[in-house]
Amino acid sequence: MIEKIFLILMVVLALITLNTVKLRRAVIYLGIFSLVSSFVYLLYGAPDVAIAEAVIGSALSTVLYLVALKKYQVFTIYYTNANYNEIHDGYIIKGRAQILRDVERFFLKREMEPQIIYTTDDCDYVLSAKNFDLLIHQDYDKVKMYGCIEDYHVDAMQDYVAKNPYENLTVEFVRYEAGDQIDA
């Protein structure tokens, strides 16, 4: 009985892994999948294989995949808001600013891995001290986006915004030269 439950769980986890949009979540689901499969090995009387699967499948390969994702595809987006005192957490977690949802969807479509960091730090501080790919600064309905001038993803983003302008938001792009920003 318990075998069948875990076998079905394996199939479900595999399907979830395939259908997840974000790559990083898919890696985590893959780790859970190999943990469950190691338990199934144990139930079928192969403890040797179970140990190897548990260590390699869910520890080593998960960390390796995460490092690889961090190296190549993660696009760091900082989001600062000039009026952060007036925003409560629910607005950020549940509602999401409209612009952020669009930016995230845009980068997901390009098979990137957007990593959005909300911060209450000042815009200028983030600009000078943090290592980012795109900085979004919002002041009520004025949105400024800072990006490196050589980053072609930001180019595409600029085109995208120019083609689909917002009704109530004015979006302005600021491009800085490469090397201006200090690598933290």
Partner 1 sequence: MRNSSEIIARMTGLLFPFIIMFGFYIILNGHITPGGGFQGGAVLASVFISRYLVYPDEGIRIKSLQSAEKALFFCIVVIPVLFLFANNYKSNELWNQIYLISMNMLIGLKVCSGLTIIFFRFVFYEGGK
48 binds partner 1 (CB under 8 A): yes
Binding residue for partner 1 (CB under 8 A) from 9, 16, 23, 56?
56
Nearest-approach distance from CB 52 to partner 1, in angstroms: 5
Nearest-approach distance from CB 68 to partner 1, in angstroms: 8
Total residues at interface with partner 1 (CB under 8 A)? 18
Q: Which two tokens stand for residue 154?
A: 């930001």
Judged by CB under 8 A, the stretch of 10-18, 51-59, 134-142, 169-177 that binds partner 1 is: 51-59
Name residue 134's beta-bridge partners: 77, 147
CA distance 163 to 170: 13
**How many residues are recorded in the chain?**
184
Q: Name which of 148, 147, 166, 150 is nearest 102 in CA terms.
A: 166
52 binds partner 1 (CB under 8 A): yes
Residues 70-99 that bind partner 1 (CB under 8 A): 70-72
The answer to whether 110 and 152 are in contact (CB under 8 A) is no
Nearest-approach distance from CB 67 to partner 1, in angstroms: 6
Binding mask 116-155 for partner 1 (x = CB under 8 A): ---------------x------------------------
Torsion of CA 162, 166, 168, 173, to 10 degrees: -40
Cα-Cα end-to-end distance for the chain? 54
Nearest-approach distance from CB 54 to partner 1, in angstroms: 9
CA distance 87 to 56: 44
59 binds partner 1 (CB under 8 A): yes
